């Protein structure tokens, strides 16, 4: 992936692409932007690392150049992120189109300019489109795809495939319009904010509270139209419009923006500085990233909004991992590892990882084993699954926020109904043992609600892993019980 221009948006694109295993070559006329974009990628990494447990490919490599031609000749997809000046974008896009191969898609991150205007002077303008993301690009999945008068449908389709691969939700804007869709909606709210601050009706903090504690919570999973549909009761949107439609004639809003006087600018700056309460931009970015990760993980449970996008990319990552896991007949395919890190919300009042998170990690490691041998949703839909009938956790160390973790899984025994596994949770850098977990799983026929033999093919895969794992020493902690004598 090539980046034409870096900055906040370019850095976000880089972080997202690298996270999903895509190499990135970034081009900027300012040499000092290399250290800036590397810093932006590093700042995004902690949040991205907490977003999912799904197995990710090896991280992509980031390179930097001040030579636009070098970037254009090496990239197989180019994303432009330079300032919102039409003439500048037209000139730079035309230039990059003369160096990129004819089949390389070129996209613009523009938040408001139309693709027809931008592709005016390009070679092969059919491969150009707007791919407008939202900040932070590495966490917010939405990207608006907008074609111009000369953009081919194949370009929209191919760009969508690539962007969904790196975990984005593609929204095809079927008719180009200045500002696209989302920014026009945001702009309407922004204009009202400026009016109310300008007229002394409310402060920036009060107006933000009016969103954060009310509609903002609803908007995370349902847009305005669906929320208003609910407001109409059983009759839905029709009743809502009949009841509240007359209000649209009332002079509640002022869509014309007020003049940006020095007084208004000062009020906006003073208000937001008061809200920041001395916190730096980097501090606020980390706070924003933490809650965006948490919200998406909650929505994932309900398969709605950005959570549905996260779930979809996880399913793809699991499929890819299974495809590339290799033949189980090869020793290289018998290692079972889960890589994770301690998230801030996992910490208890002692400053260490909460007890129940150990159970979660060992459960995730067992799920990774299941996927390794082909136990997937289709298998579960067929009426069979393993149930945990006994487990034991032994704590040997401490895990603190941000610590890298690794779970190594070993099969101790298996027969047609039982699976005995042992997990070792280690510090990802030092290798020190933090905890061990031992589990006994029983293969169950869900429809008959009782233990049942697994199929011969599944048993053979699990037994092959057991034989490979038997070459290791048996864990000293295996088979232990609570170290306290009775009485």
Whole-angstrom distance, CA of residue 363 vs CA of residue 426: 15
SS3 of 399-442: the string is: CCCCCEEEEEEEEEEECCCEEEEEEEEEECCCCCEEEEEEEEEE
* Mean pLDDT, rounded, for 461-469: 94
Boundary of a domain, candidates 243, 278, 313: 278
Q: 205-214, 364-373, 456-465: which range is least confident on average?
A: 364-373
H helix runs in 65-148, sequence order = 68-74, 86-97, 115-118
At 333 the pLDDT is 58
Nearest to 173 by CA among 140, 207, 126, 129: 129
Q: Name the DSSP class of 397.
A: S
- CB-count exposure of residue 434 (10 Å: 0-12, 13-18, 19+): buried
pLDDT > 80? residue 335: no
Domain with 464 in it: what CATH number? 3.10.129.10
At 331 the pLDDT is 40
Helix, strand, or coil (residue 105): strand
Q: 91-105, 289-303, 319-333, 470-484: which range is least confident on average?
A: 319-333
Does some domain include residue 364? yes
Whole-angstrom distance, CA of residue 315 vs CA of residue 310: 9
Which residues face 450 on adjacent strands? 445
Nearest to 369 by CA among 337, 391, 392: 337
At 485 the pLDDT is 54
Q: Name the DSSP class of 450.
A: E
At 325 the pLDDT is 47
pLDDT > 60? residue 171: yes
Does some domain include residue 317? no
At 481 the pLDDT is 72
CB 12 within 8 A of CB 138: yes
Name the token pair of 83.
């300032």
pLDDT > 50? residue 327: no
Q: Which residues contact 460 (CB under 8 A, 6 or more apart)?
A: none
Domain identity same for 237 and 103: no
At 328 the pLDDT is 38
pLDDT > 70? residue 322: no
Higher-pLDDT residue of 84, 371: 84
Does some domain include residue 210? yes
Boundary of a domain, candidates 218, 249, 278: 278
SS3 of 201-232: the string is: CCCHHHHHHHHHCCHHHHHCCCCHHHHHHHHC
Domain identity same for 14 and 118: yes
Q: How many residues does the chain have?
A: 487
Whole-angstrom distance, CA of residue 309 vs CA of residue 163: 12
Boundary of a domain, candidates 154, 180, 206: 180
pLDDT range class, residue 394, cuts 50, 70, 90: very high
Nearest to 361 by CA among 334, 341, 386: 341
Whole-angstrom distance, CA of residue 310 vs CA of residue 48: 12
Reported as type and span, the H/E element at residue 292 is helix 281-302
Domain identity same for 270 and 362: no
At 324 the pLDDT is 58
Helix, strand, or coil (residue 17): helix
Does some domain include residue 311? no
CB 420 within 8 A of CB 436: no
Domain identity same for 341 and 439: yes
Nearest to 14 by CA among 68, 59, 66: 59
Reported as type and span, the H/E element at residue 77 is strand 77-80
Domain identity same for 50 and 103: yes
pLDDT > 50? residue 430: yes
Whole-angstrom distance, CA of residue 162 vs CA of residue 25: 16
Q: Which residues contact 173 (CB under 8 A, 6 or more apart)?
A: 144, 145, 146, 180, 181
CB 104 within 8 A of CB 79: no
pLDDT range class, residue 156, cuts 50, 70, 90: very high
Q: How many other CB atoms sit within 10 Å of the CB of residue 411?
A: 22
Name the token pair of 254.
């002022």
Does some domain include residue 219? yes
pLDDT > 70? residue 143: yes
Whole-angstrom distance, CA of residue 41 vs CA of residue 46: 10
At 176 the pLDDT is 96
Whole-angstrom distance, CA of residue 203 vs CA of residue 211: 13
User: In whole numbers, what is the pLDDT of the chain averaged over residues?
Assistant: 90
Q: Which of 148-152, 375-379, 481-485 has the highest mean pLDDT?
A: 148-152
Does some domain include residue 86? yes
Task: Tell me the residue range of the domain where 240 lies.
Answer: 183-278
pLDDT range class, residue 208, cuts 50, 70, 90: very high
Q: Which of 140-154, 239-253, 304-318 has the highest mean pLDDT?
A: 140-154
Domain identity same for 339 and 251: no
* Mean pLDDT, rounded, for 151-158: 98
At 235 the pLDDT is 84
Domain with 203 in it: what CATH number? 1.10.1040.10
How many domains are there within the chain?
A: 3
Q: What share of the chain is helix, strand, coil (3-state, %, to 5)?
A: 45, 20, 35
Domain identity same for 220 and 168: no
pLDDT > 70? residue 289: yes
pLDDT range class, residue 128, cuts 50, 70, 90: very high
Domain identity same for 30 and 163: yes
pLDDT digits (tens, 9 = 90+) for 8-32: 999 999 999 999 999 999 999 999 9
Which residues face 104 on adjacent strands? none
Higher-pLDDT residue of 91, 251: 91
Higher-pLDDT residue of 465, 321: 465
Domain identity same for 141 and 197: no
pLDDT > 90? residue 163: yes
pTM: 0.78
pLDDT > 60? residue 456: yes
* Mean pLDDT, rounded, for 57-84: 96
Q: Which of 234-238, 263-267, 401-405 has the highest mean pLDDT?
A: 263-267
Give me the residue label for tokens 């690009």. Answer: 137
CB 55 within 8 A of CB 90: no
Does some domain include residue 416? yes
At 203 the pLDDT is 96
Which is it for strands 2-4 and 77-80: parallel, antiparallel or unpaired? Answer: parallel
Domain identity same for 12 and 110: yes
pLDDT range class, residue 434, cuts 50, 70, 90: very high
Does some domain include residue 316? no
Domain identity same for 353 and 222: no
Q: Name the DSSP class of 159.
A: H
Whole-angstrom distance, CA of residue 288 vs CA of residue 229: 30
Domain identity same for 94 and 224: no
Domain with 14 in it: what CATH number? 3.40.50.720
Name the token pair of 247.
């209000």
* Mean pLDDT, rounded, for 366-376: 88
Name the token pair of 56.
């990710």
pLDDT range class, residue 260, cuts 50, 70, 90: confident
Nearest to 421 by CA among 391, 452, 464, 458: 391
């Amino acid at each position: 992936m090539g980046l034409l221009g870096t900055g906040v948006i370019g850095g976000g694109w880089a972080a997202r692409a690298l996270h999903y295993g895509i190499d990135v070559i970034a081009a900027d006329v300012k040499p000092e932007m290399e250290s800036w974009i590397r810093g932006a990628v590093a700042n995004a990494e902690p949040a991205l690392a907490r977003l999912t447990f799904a197995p990710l490919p090896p991280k992509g490599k980031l390179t930097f150049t001040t030579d636009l031609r070098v970037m254009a000749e090496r990239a197989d997809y180019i994303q432009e992120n330079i300032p919102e000046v039409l003439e500048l974008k037209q000139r730079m896009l035309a230039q990059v189109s003369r160096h990129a191969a004819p089949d390389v898609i070129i996209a613009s991150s523009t938040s408001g300019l139309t693709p027809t205007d931008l592709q005016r002077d390009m070679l092969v303008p059919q491969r150009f489109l707007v791919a407008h993301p939202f900040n932070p690009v590495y966490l917010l999945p939405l990207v608006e795809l907008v074609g111009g008068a000369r953009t081919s449908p194949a370009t929209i389709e191919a760009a969508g495939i690539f962007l969904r691969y790196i975990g984005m939700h593609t929204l095809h804007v079927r008719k180009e319009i200045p500002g696209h869709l989302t920014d026009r909606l945001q702009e309407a709210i922004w204009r009202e904010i400026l009016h109310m601050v300008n007229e002394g009706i409310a402060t920036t903090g009060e107006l933000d509270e009016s969103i954060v504690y009310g509609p903002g919570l609803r908007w995370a999973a349902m847009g305005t139209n669906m929320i208003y549909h609910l407001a109409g009761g059983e009759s839905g949107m029709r009743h809502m419009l009949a009841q509240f439609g007359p209000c649209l004639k009332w002079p509640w809003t002022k869509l014309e923006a007020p003049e940006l006087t020095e007084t208004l600018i000062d009020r906006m700056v003073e208000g937001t500085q008061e809200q920041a309460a001395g916190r730096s931009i980097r501090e606020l970015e980390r706070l924003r990233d933490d809650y965006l990760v948490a919200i998406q993980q909650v929505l994932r449970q309900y398969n709605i909004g950005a959570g549905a996008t996260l779930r979809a990319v996880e399913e793809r990552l699991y499929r890819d991992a299974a495809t590339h896991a290799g033949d189980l007949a090869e020793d290289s395919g018998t290692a079972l590892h889960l890589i994770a890190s301690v998230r801030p919300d996992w910490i208890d009042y002692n400053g260490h990882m909460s007890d129940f998170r150990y159970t979660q990690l060992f459960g995730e490691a067992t799920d990774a084993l299941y996927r390794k041998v082909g136990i997937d949703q289709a298998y579960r839909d067929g009426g069979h699954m393993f149930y945990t009938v006994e487990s034991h956790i032994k704590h040997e160390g401490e895990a603190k926020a941000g610590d890298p973790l690794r779970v190594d899984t070993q099969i101790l025994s298996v027969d047609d109904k039982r699976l005995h596994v042992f997990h070792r949770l280690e510090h990802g850098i030092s290798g020190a043992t933090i905890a061990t977990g031992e589990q006994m799983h029983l293969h169950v026929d869900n429809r008959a609600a009782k233990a049942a033999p697994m199929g011969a093919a599944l048993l053979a895969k699990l037994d092959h892993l057991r034989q490979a794992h038997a070459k290791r020493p048996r864990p000293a902690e295996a088979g232990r019980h609570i170290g306290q004598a009775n009485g």
